[in-house]
Amino acid sequence: MTNIILCGGSGTRLWPISRTLMPKQFVKLFDDTSLFQLTVKRNSKVCASQFIVSNQDQYFLALDQLEEMNQKENSYLLEPVGRNTAPAITLACMSLSREEIVLVTPSDHLIKDEKAYAKVIEQASALAQENNLVTFGITPDFAETGFGYIEADGLNVKAFHEKPDVKTAQSYLDAGNYYWNSGMFMFKAGVFLDELEKYSPEIYTACQSALTKEHDTSLIRISQEDMLNIPEDSIDYAVMEKSTNVKVVPSDISWSDVGSFDALYEELPQDENGNTLDTKHISVDSKNNLIQANNKTVATIDVEDLIIIDTGDALLISKKGSSQKVKQVVKQLKEQDSQLHNIHETVHRPWGTYTVLEDTPGYKIKRIVVKPGKRLSLQKHYHRNEHWIVVSGTATVTVGDETKLIRPNESTYIKMGEVHRLSNEGVIPVVLIEAQVGEYTGEDDIVRLSDDFKRN
């Protein structure tokens, strides 16, 4: 069995913790472990291999977190732009044997009852062996309006229903044969593809065309042109709601999609007053608060039922029960052309990280960390000069035709327009301070001439 892990999505309802270039599935929310890592760990117990479908900008986040787990033998499919779940699953299934049973899971769900989970996986596997498309219906424990529902007749799916209003959700709960749609599936790759070709032939043909140009089955890169040629659709609309061959496995597995701060609060450890545990939180008569403050001391006095999230460059304060409105904040940030929805102060790159220490018109200061054996692209800038000061490690710096070693407390200067590259040929990280000076210091002022990671 192969676990297809879908890593798309930006988790905007958990802003400012979750952002486009560091979405919630990669944020280490639980004992220094991410939801993505928990997904891999959980499904490695029931699957022989992982097939990870990721946005190309998030591929290296997945790679780094898998290396932390000593999980190195995986297959990857990189999407330059998301086209929803149907194309993602189709491209992965087309890359596998038709007889392979696949367990399709999002990367950002939390499942705490792993014994019950193993049992429903076993039940689903038996149904998949009989050439059924299987979905997992979460046993609801309240009238949730934020999920779609599956109406069942035993193990047979009668209908899929969109997110309901409160009254309708309560009627579903009272009926007893409705389940939350988990977004998890199991089937033989070939059975799914046959149903897709029958009900959504345009997606099938476009995915097939995109894959004919690929040869490396362990790292598949789809071109932007080919990806945009694939119709955008969810697996529910493209196949599951149309097929007559769908079964549902009722799943009481202590499941959460961690889709809001209210949901996150329920999953985090709390003190005797219902405040989430934080050694730097000073509470005076405060109760039932969720506080995440990035190692900053937060003091609360006589407040209850608040969500307080501080990431250094953004502060969110919300009443509990209103955190679904966070996506409205993200919408306004996009309308303001802000980058706060997109990146954190610390940004992860395939070669390491950079942290913006100060960003002011005319100059920007960064802390850059380059991992051993990695190097940045060979590049130049049209609008800025750069000063590099090495703090630790030994940097190999190429400027024009000259290459030299820069050691701690030494520096170098790159003029606007000069071709340059920063490398770490040592065995410890290189840490340096970069000062950019110029009329424009945006991240898009980079002309890459050569890149180890095939970025544009």
Amino acid at 11: G
In contact, 155 and 231? CB cutoff 8 Å: no
Percent of the residues in the chain that have a pLDDT greater than 70, as a whole number? 99
In contact, 379 and 455? CB cutoff 8 Å: no
In the chain, where does the domain assigned CATH 2.60.120.10 lie? 346-450
Handedness of CA 194, 195, 198, 203 (dihedral sign): negative
Decide which of 33 and 216 is more confident. Answer: 33
In the chain, where does the domain assigned CATH 3.90.550.10 lie? 2-256
Query: Among 82, 5, 1, 78, which residue's Cα sits nearest to residue 38?
Result: 5
Give the integer Cα–Cα distance in Å for 396 and 419: 14
Q: Which residues pair with 221 in a beta bridge?
A: 78
Q: At what angle do helices 201-211 and 85-94 cross, to 10 degrees?
A: 50
Predicted pLDDT of residue 229: 96
Give the integer Cα–Cα distance in Å for 111 and 42: 8
Give the integer Cα–Cα distance in Å for 32 and 27: 9
- Sheet with 346-349: strands ordered across: 346-349, 352-360, 363-370, 430-438, 384-392, 411-414
Query: Among 88, 265, 268, 82, which residue's Cα sits nearest to residue 183?
Result: 88
pLDDT tens digit string along 371-397?
999 999 999 999 999 999 999 999 999
pLDDT of 10 strictly over 80: no
Give the integer Cα–Cα distance in Å for 171 and 178: 9
Burial class of residue 268 (count of CB atoms within 10 Å of its CB; 0-12, 13-18, 19+): middle
pLDDT tens digit string along 332-385?
999 998 889 988 888 889 999 999 999 999 999 999 999 999 999 999 999 999
Q: Residue 300: how many CB atoms within 10 A of its CB?
A: 18
User: Where do the H-state alpha helices sit in 188-253?
Assistant: 189-199, 201-211, 224-228, 235
In this structure, the strands spanning 219-221 and 75-79 are parallel
In contact, 328 and 313? CB cutoff 8 Å: no
262-277: average pLDDT: 96
Handedness of CA 414, 416, 421, 423 (dihedral sign): positive
CA 215 to chain centre: 26
pLDDT tens digit string along 204-253?
999 999 998 766 678 899 999 999 999 999 999 999 999 999 999 999 99
User: Where do the H-state alpha helices sit in 289-376?
Assistant: 326-335
Give the integer Cα–Cα distance in Å for 326 and 320: 11
pLDDT of 50 strictly over 90: yes
Model confidence pTM above 0.85? yes
Q: What percentage of the chain's residues is helix, strand, coil (to nearest 5)? A: 25, 35, 40
Arch. (CATH architecture) of 2-256 = Alpha-Beta Complex (3.90)
CA 49 to chain centre: 19
pLDDT averaged over every residue in the chain: 94
What's the CATH code, domain 346-450? 2.60.120.10
CA geometry: angle at 213 spanning 212 and 219, to 5°?
Answer: 105
